[in-house]
Amino acid sequence: MKPQQLEILLFTNTKFSSFLLTDKNDNNEKASECSDLEEAAWNGFYKEALPELYGEDRESKKMILWQTNCAENFLVLDYAESPQSKDPFFSIDPYYFMDKQLLS
């Protein structure tokens, strides 16, 4: 059985992301917004704020955050039981799967 993976996209410049940054006193630049969202991910904020994404079974509780990737308009969070490569067929990261699609 293949190990479980979870991939989450958090879009920047949204009400949800601005809600996370209300305590910050910066000018909401894209770089600082993405780094603040990334910091919240490493601190475990999203597991508490969005428990429905992580499930309630024992297997999902074993998953930990392995990688974050800050893109132009979103932040990608990669959770898994252990580090592993993504399958482009199942990935939701557009920068990852767009170059792998067949053009007809």
pTM across the whole model: 0.74
What pLDDT does residue 84 have? 80
Question: Which alpha helices (DSSP H) does 1-104 contain, by range?
Answer: 15-20, 30-42, 45-49, 51-54, 58-61, 94-97
Contact of 77 with 41, CB cutoff 8 Å: yes
What pLDDT does residue 93 have? 84
Q: Give the Cα separation of 63 and 82 in Å (integer).
A: 8
Q: Which residues contact residue 61 at a Cβ distance below 8 angstroms, ignoring those fewer than 6 apart?
A: 54
Q: Give the Cα separation of 103 and 81 in Å (integer).
A: 33
- DSSP 8-class letter at 22: T
For each of the chain's 104 residues, which pLDDT tens digit applies? 566 788 899 888 888 777 766 655 455 455 578 888 888 889 888 888 878 877 766 555 678 899 998 988 899 999 888 888 877 777 888 877 666 555 55
Contact of 66 with 83, CB cutoff 8 Å: yes
